[in-house]
A and B are shown apart, each in its own frame.
Chain A
Amino acid sequence: MSQTKRPIMADKGQMKSAIKRILGYEVKYFPVPFFLSLFCVIVSCISNAANSMFIGTIFVDDILANISDPDILSRLAMYLGIMAGIYLCGIVSIYFYNFLMSKVAQGTQKKIRDELFEHMQTLPLSYFDTRTRGDIMSVYTNDVDTLREAMSRAWPMLVSATFSIIVVGVMMFITNWMLAIIVILLTIPMFFFTKAVTKSSGKYFVKQQISLGKTNGYVEEMINGQKVVKVFNHEEEAIAGFNVLNDKLCEESTKANRYSNVLMPVINQAGTLQYIILGIIASVLLVYKDNLGSFEAMFSVGTVVSFLMYSKSFTQPIGVLSQQINLIVMAVAGATRIFEMIDTPSEVDDGYVTLVNAKEDENGNPVEVSERTGKWAWKHPHETGEVTYTWLRGRVTFDDVDFGYVPEKIVLHNVTLYAEPGQKVAFVGPTGAGKTTITNLINRFYDIADGKVRYDEININKIKKADLRRSLGMVLQDTELFTGTVKDNIKFGKLDATDEEVIEAAKLANAHTFISNLPNGYDTMLEKAGGNLSQGQRQLIAIARAAISNPPAMILDEATSSIDSRTEEMVQKGMDAIMKGRTVFVIAHRLSTVKNSDVIMVLDQGSIIERGSHDQLIAMGGKYYQLYTGNAMKK
């Protein structure tokens, strides 16, 4: 539905800057084909105009006028030979024009598409959290698509039409400037008529698009809820609602199409009318040419024939332009949205502390090495030029942290906590208490407003984001897998993992049994991001994916009770297994997880209101006690 809110047509300023930018891409990345294609289109326009000139000036005025000359046919043959050469140039260049234009258009498309995607990867998480997936996707599906249509179809037509007008115009002036001025004068009203019609048809076109968006939105929503419609006997009402939109769409699109259908015959025949008027004026001029004195030489029957043809090639491109302009304005509106995304600033990463492979020296201190040792250390260059190394252990501390997704609204207040390496920290509290928010801060999906977060005693702002995130595993509640084999998905956690490592990780995650039972085992393709697996199975793969990267610290978001109990038990076992020996932050929903934690943080409205072990908190008799006694199941 959100599409209907998006502007369909671009305004003038957007037109200018977007077209400039697209041309910039073309010239920058494809300079040779771009300019070559312009050269080709000029050649083809010239050969076209040469045809009109040849038929009038040479064929009619020379050949046909002197048809009785004995050697006229051989002279004609010679002319035709020359013309054949020109035509051939024209044909070849029109081919290359089309070919090069499409190559440039497709190449530019690819550049923009790749740049868009690449840039999207660098955008901060807030970009994704503040937009619906549908809105982001529609930039790719709608905007990139209309831009492609416009660039590969409308744009080449526009360019060749423009050049055709210019070349024919010049040729007309060369042949006979008086007739040329008459043609141009006759074209002016046609030009304004076209402009007016295009403008109003554009208006109806937008209405039609909005109406289409609404109708399709309705269809999408209602068909997706079709089963509910059936269950509530709501068919009649659904049809009535649909009819209103459909009738309106029919009305709007009929209007829009009537307008654009009117344009073509008028423009075609306006050309003819112009042609007739030209013919009559030319005849009059021919009759009185003896009185025109020095102009006499300018007029011949051939000139008139040539001009009759010129005027056609002069007016037709205007028709073409008018047909394409709506598509182009629409595409530019799309391009504006594309560039908007490309221009959104990337996530800033000014961290300089990096994660390196290390081995132990005789004192047990880390020493950087280039080979994989399975041990990691933070490499910390200081301003003094000195470089220190600290073991990667997984100690995390929060020191008086404040945070808000928007500066005006602080959602975490004075959060202070610490987790020693290997400790398990559970967050409990109602939805919206800030559990997920805290985990978002540890891996710097969001940056804190005030206070400090330290990882192995290093301020996380100093750590390079990629390295920080590599050191933290993550299993989320909404498991996202990618199309590919099961193995690919597990290896997402460690690209160079061997098959043995994959299996080992799967075993650790309790996923090996079900994976082995899949039709192709580890090579089973996951269609549609794992849509062919149950939620529990997807979660098991996600656990294996986190396990294989073997991070010292992990963030876990337990699933709520939407999976059935048996699978849940398996998932639970998998979770328990990878939690061992790691620093773990878990957003807990299950009592067993909470009970087994070293520290439990009870959150409410962005603050930690209670902390301690299960027994301590029960003894305290506060909020945790209430939650426990209120919800735990009694036999």
Chain B
Amino acid sequence: MLKTINELNKQLGKYKKDILLTWFFCVIETMCEIAVPTLTGWLVNLIKGEAVCFFSESIVIWGPSTEINLSRVFILGGIMILTAVLAIITGILAGWFAANAACGIGHNIRKSMYEKIQKYSFNNVDKFSTSSIVTRMTTDITNVQFAYQMTIRASLRAPLLLVFAMTIAFIKSWQLALVFLCLTPVVGFFLLFIANRVHPTFVQIFNTYDHLNQEIQEDVAGIRVVKAFDRQKEQNEKFSKVSLFIYKKFVKAEAMIAFNSPLLQLLSYTSSILICFLGATLIKKYGDSFLTTGDLTSLLTYVFQIMFALMLLSMVYVQVIIARNSAERIVAVLKEEPDIVSPENAITEIPNGEVIFDNVNFHYFSNPDHNVLKNINVTIPTGSTVGIVGSTGSSKTSLLNLIARLYDASEGEVKVGGHNVKEYDLTALRDSVAVVLQKNVLFTGTIKENLLWGNKDATDEEIAKACDMACASEFINRFPDKYDTMLDEGGTNVSGGQRQRLCIARALLKNPKILILDDSTSAVDTHTDATIRGYLKNEKPEVTKFIVAERVLSVKDCDIILVMDEGEIVAKGTSEELYSSCQIYKELVDTQLGGGDFDVAN
């Protein structure tokens, strides 16, 4: 726990001074606040005509008098007003710097995390999963920032208040202070006990919330199915069961939490009663010079301050346990080391598009016992067009991912342009290898902005050229805003086929030596698909092209076709060769021939 907090505090950076200033002003503010009840006690003494002493009887400020001395009242009142004003000023300053510090650390954590994630390899990303990284960067940071906000001042103020108030009480009368000393730990213990008891229930509740949301999401997504099968009633019952569970757990937890304020009340009332009785007894026994009315009333006010301090402490404690999990998850992201980095003295020039797999084996980190690629040995001459077919799970994508070093081969060597990919500068390598991923995305912004990802210095002509080759210009030009058409998040406002064509154009703009199309035309109709392939063949003869496809038609005319099955290349050759020699390929062609595709242009 402390390690986690330390790790996070490293993120404070320039905001360290804000924390120190917060604490500095906080100390002054708390001292002023602590002084007020004592000063009020003095005021009561003045009104009652009793002596005003500076804590011990020996330091008498003003002696007793038979009637109220108004000038003394004004002097004391003035001092009190000054104290209060000082408390306001320091309080505002403490709040000011606390805001800087809390928001600053939130800012720095966000920044460090995001920068770290940018250094992650695919492997690192897989380890956490994308959705978990998103949660860590949004909800978790918000939780931690909120915890800082709540605790920066309170973590200092609460113990200070407690200690100061206790000390003053002891100076005034140790007999009465014993009342505090005995009661406070008991109540403090119960408050912590409640917090500890309740926290697991809340964790349980929030997990159930996820479950409930999952249920709602499924219902919304499957509303056609629900309605078609007329299952509204059953869905409602399922929902209300989970909903009832949450309700019951909440009520149970709240029944515990509901003890918090009565406990604090119990503390303050019991102290009041005991102080009144003991105080009166002491005064009766030793006379009112031993304990003045003012002392007594100020002691009664300290009861409230101690109560307040305890409340703050339990709040700090609760905040810390709530934020603990979030903090740990953040630290895990910050501490994760990227496992693919550029080597020293890296080669920055990729000579050509030749690709060689030399005895390559590969497994994902999550499953080290299962090689998804086995004994891959293949040489692809530069400029050739390579088709890859095979059923889902035959590791076509895994194979291609090794070329741009999105993952590193577990064994063996992957060579591009005659060098092991590990010898290249990562940026240079990825600039030369354009990958159109299977799950490809576009980003919020105009079409042009998205295309510029490929080459930020591309001219309008170059962009138009790339779009021509990807058969994208025909529909872009039909949009009223053409290249300035806004795309929604994920490009959901264009059709799947259009999205794929934009992704291809974006990759072409990189002017790569190797182009990888991983099932990138599945939503494009067969005619357009063929046109794109034709352009690529004629206009980019020097580029090595890899085409993964479910449609045999898309790979039929490739120079080389690799047939993959369960992580191995089981056959290699042209379409004609494979049709006669490879059973898997033959089956594939036959089923697609028999069935055929009746998809029509979008």
Contacts and interface: CB of A to CB of B under 8 A. Distances in A.
B596 A635 contact: no
Contacts of B591: 565-566, 568-569
B536 interface: no
Contacts of A588: 598
A102 B392 CA distance: 52
A469 B596 contact: no
B596 A102 contact: no
Given A1-B489, A103-B251, A137-B213, A230 B122 contact: yes
A592 B551 CA distance: 16
A591 B120 CA distance: 45
Given A219-B134, A549-B229, A98 B258 contact: yes
Interface stretch (B51-59, B101-109, B471-479): B101-109
Contact of A264 (B44, B95, B215, B593): B95
Contact of B40 (A247, A279, A495): A279
B52 to A, nearest CB: 13
Contacts of A481: 222
Nearest to B235: A121
A420 to B, nearest CB: 22
B453 to A, nearest CB: 5
A133 B73 contact: no
Contact of A133 (B220, B281, B440, B522): B220
Interface string B235-266: 11001100110110011001101111110011
Given A106-B251, A262-B96, A560-B599, A235 B229 contact: no
A567 B244 CA distance: 41
A87 to B, nearest CB: 4
B378 interface: no
A133 to B, nearest CB: 5
Nearest to B579: A635
Contact of B43 (A55, A60, A283): A283
Given A64-B296, A279-B43, A223 B599 contact: no
A67 B430 contact: no
A122 B232 contact: yes
Contact of A633 (B130, B149, B553): B553
A106 B247 contact: yes
A566 B44 CA distance: 93
Given A77-B277, A121-B235, A122-B232, 16 more contacts: A55-B276, A91-B265, A117-B219, A118-B236, A140-B213, A219-B137, A226-B117, A254-B99, A275-B36, A305-B297, A309-B301, A469-B229, A561-B599, A564-B391, A565-B588, A630-B527
A392 B439 CA distance: 45
Instruction: Give the secondary structure class of B's interface.
Output: helix
B91 A269 contact: yes
B602 A110 contact: no
A570 B129 CA distance: 31
A291 to B, nearest CB: 14
Contact of A64 (B261, B280, B444, B495): B280
Contact of B254 (A72, A106, A257): A106
Contacts of A275: 36, 40
A367 interface: no
Contacts, number: 431
Given A470-B230, A627-B600, A265 B258 contact: no
B505 to A, nearest CB: 13
A262 B444 CA distance: 38
Contacts of A272: 33, 36, 80, 84, 87
A8 interface: no
Interface in B406-434: 406, 426-427, 430-431, 434
Interface residues of B, number: 160
Given A55-B297, A110-B243, A630-B527, A589 B99 contact: no
A221 B443 contact: yes
A223 B133 contact: yes
Contact of A224 (B46, B102, B134, B220): B134
A228 B149 CA distance: 36
A276 interface: yes
Contacts of B266: 91
B324 interface: no
A83 to B, nearest CB: 7
Nearest to A77: B277
A25 interface: no
Contact-residue bracket for chain A = 35 or more
Interface in B63-94: 67-68, 70, 73-74, 77, 80-81, 84-85, 87-88, 90-92, 94
A233 interface: yes
Interface stretch (A374-382, A411-419, A425-433): A425-433
Contact of B440 (A76, A107, A122, A228): A228
A284 B600 CA distance: 95
18 contacts: A55-B276, A63-B280, A95-B262, A106-B247, A106-B250, A110-B244, A221-B443, A223-B137, A232-B506, A261-B96, A287-B70, A304-B44, A470-B230, A529-B218, A630-B527, A631-B525, A631-B599, A632-B596
A453 B281 CA distance: 95
B48 A301 contact: yes
Interface in B293-344: 293, 296-297, 300-301, 304
A482 B231 CA distance: 12
Nearest to B404: A231
A114 B522 contact: no
B382 interface: no
Contacts of A72: 280, 284
A492 B522 contact: no
A317 interface: no
Contacts of B212: 140
Contacts of B111: 242-243, 246
Contacts of B551: 561
Interface stretch (A172-180, A183-191, A472-480): A472-480
Nearest to B113: A219
B406 A230 contact: yes
Interface string A106-120: 110110011001101
Query: Closest 6 interchain pairs by CB?
Result: A265-B91, A261-B95, A480-B222, A591-B596, A98-B258, A102-B254
Contacts of A249: 107, 110
B283 A64 contact: yes
A591 B142 contact: no
A276 B149 contact: no
A332 to B, nearest CB: 21
B221 interface: yes
B62 interface: no
Q: Which of A110, A627, A630 has the most CB of B within 10 A?
A: A110
A601 to B, nearest CB: 13
Interface string A295-329: 00000010011001100100000000000000000
